[in-house]
Amino acid sequence: MQLNNLGFPRIGRQRELKFALEKYWRGEINQAQLIDISRELRQTHWRWQADAGVTLLPVGDFAFYDQVLTLSATLDVIPKRHRGETPTDLDTLFRIGRGRAPSGKDAPAAEMTKFFNTNYHYIVPELTEDQRFDIGYQQLFDEVSEAQRLGYQPKPVLLGPVSFLYLSKAVESEFDKLSLLPRLIEAYQKLLQRFVSQGVEWVQLDEPVLALELEGDWQAAISQAYRELARSNVRILLASYYGSIAHHHHLVADLPVAGLHLDLVTAPEQLQTFLPSLGAEQVLSAGVINGRNVWAAELDELAEGLSSVAGDLKQRLWLSPSCSLLHSPVDLEIETNLAPELKLQLSFAKQKLAELTKLKLLLTEPNSAEANAIVLECQARRDARAEAANQQVIARVEALTERDYQRDDAFPVRQAAQRARYRLPLLPTTTIGSFPQTPAIRGLRSRWRKGEISLEHYNQQLRQVTKDTIERQLKLDIDVLVHGEAERNDMVEYFGEQLEGVGFTQFGWVQSYGSRCVKPPLIYGDVSRPTAMTVKWAEFAQSLTEKPVKGMLTGPVTILHWSFAREDISREQIATQIALAIRDEVVELQDAGIGIIQIDEPAFREGLPLKKSDWQHYLNWAVNGFKLSAAGVNNETQIHTHMCYSEFNETIAAIGAMDADVITIETSRSRMELLNAFEDFNYPNEIGPGVYDIHSPNTPTVEEILDLMQKAATKLPVEQLWVNPDCGLKTRTWDEVEPALVNLVEATKQLRRTLG
């Protein structure tokens, strides 16, 4: 029996990679120093895995920005605008991912979207009809050699060819991406031969597309790809995750691969489907430790379910996390402030490797004293969870009726009342919510948390920041203002810290994209709101101006998806509990005089099951969660929502059913292509398509913004349109934000004059 790992977080337990990247981008360290820091991180993570008993160490899970982007560079898939006179290097990747690097010319960044149903964002590969593939970047091979020099046996890990094609985007012309498959397979064969020449025995190829309901041509592509790749003199572990692949059982069972990884956390039932069809020499990697959540595994129950399999397969059984541990925080050991009863229930990436070791012990030495201690530990965790129930919250959910989910009147009636109250101009301008979290703000928060300054002094300084933010917006002549969220560490964590039934960590960071990391709350019990969370800041900001200031909230579906949620009740039940807490906040904001309230749901689409046949149930409860949070207000109160980095075509009916008065969305990287869904659907409510990419430091020109606004006006009636950036401005600097917003307002005024 062997321990297997599909991938490890690369950011470091203290976010060392994040800080190194940002220092490099700012010119505070050079590229050699950045590479040295990354090498130290990789070697630390390899040592941890080896110490836990993992013999084939994943290599290729490390990336300076995104592993899909690294693979694109490896395959020489570089957009023309990012190609330079010199060969592809690290700065090439940064220009693709963020539009700018310390060297080379600025160019619009490539599209970024979410990796299947996760909150990890990948850089979308851009393919042309005449695309050629070759080995164009050496990082992956260099890391294989690096691991070997340290005495480790590397297992290169990369996205499989069919998933790579599926996640790519056709550019310059419309064509069938699968027409490129033969050329791509040839490139993968070159990659595999390079690995063979380096002495590699196993390569892990990830095909998460298998969890989707693939059309026949994509199924044929899987069969073609792996029959041809099997000719390479290397053993392939085919891995899929995030859902069951049992619906593709016959396709997968016929593939000539040396090993198969199954996600047995999301779909434990598929084990019995695939066991009878395993080849006599084929390895089964059993993904039984949850790679996407932080709750400690029920190891005793897992051992009971796997005991007969372990006896049958023996050395052909590999114990593994369900997916890459990229989605998990790094190390629980450094968490010193968690309540002991909560910490007992947790397991981060490093501890999940230890869980594999414990599970192996339970399977191989079930009657040992060590095994008995593990069983007792599991029972103690179950007892602690049972004591966390809040009967008042449970009763409130059970008492809900259909009326609780409905606004008083339909949108046309609400729209008339809102227009009469606010008298906003054509094409109202606004921002998404957050303004720059400067080093001064972050330092202030750090000093307060350490007890170096009083809460009174902290709040006094934040009031001054909020006042400055309002004054800047007034000077810019923005129509609907925001208070800037200076008091918030994160759009989800901030609320998690104030809700009952929710805990939070000091260092439980996970990567979202590039150097962007988030620290998800821990939903361990029934959720409720003991007191107002945002009202005082909204009231203060509104007292500074006669222009409307939006109240800013994170919606229930996003809080759920961007938290590590308990697993003993359904996600629908958790979302309903959170929705009631947000509803209480919405009503209190309205009662305090805040007439425009934004309830952000950027993770709405992220929660979609991978199989379309399972979508409707999710969409029903997700829509209801948003409606429950928003339905307690009167007609004059305008409810906004925000979504970003999502495809809308297949969920547009559900988005319409949410019935927000205004929705703002990210559209600049796609150059308004995402608006097609709203145009085709004849979306009736108001909409703010983003007109510049906030994830790039580049300043959009008036002409660029005007061009995008004119494109939007050809798709939807101009009376429906708002003007705003793609997303919040938290990660940018004021030197970047103000020129961009000056141009946004100027472009809007020009278009207003053109339209009369």
Q: What is the DSSP string of 504-558?
A: --SS--EEEETTEEE---EEEEEEE--S-SSHHHHHHHHTT-SS-B-EEEE-HHH
Per the DSSP assignment, residues forming a β-bridge with 553 are: 599
Cα 484 versus chain centre, distance: 23
CB 187 within 8 A of CB 145: no
Structural Rg of the chain based on CA atoms: 26
In angstroms, rounded to a whole number, what is the distance separating the alpha carbons of residues 677 and 483? 31
Strand partners, 565: 523
C-alpha distance from residue 188 to each of 126, 203, 230 (Å): 18, 11, 11
Q: How far apart are CA 267 and CA 270, in angstroms?
A: 6
| Total Cβ atoms within 10 A of residue 667 | 25
Please state the separation of Cα 62 from the chain's center in Å. Answer: 17
Question: What is the enclosing helix (H) or strand (E) of 664?
Answer: strand 662-665
* DSSP assignment string, 602-646: TTTGGG--SSGGGHHHHHHHHHHHHHHHHTTS-TTSEEEEEE-S-
E strands present in 197-277 = 202-206, 235-239, 259-263
Element (H, E) at 285: strand 283-289
Q: Are 522 and 505 in contact (CB under 8 A)?
A: yes
Q: What angle do CA 755, 475, 727 make, to 5 degrees?
A: 70
Distance between CA atoms of residues 651 and 619, nearest Å? 8
Which residue in 45, 121, 640, 695 is the catalytic one? 695
Q: What are phi and psi of 687, to 5 degrees?
A: -145, 140
For the question of residue 561 being annotated catalytic, the response is no
User: How many whole angstroms separate alpha carbon 378 and alpha carbon 495?
Assistant: 30
Catalytic residue set: 695
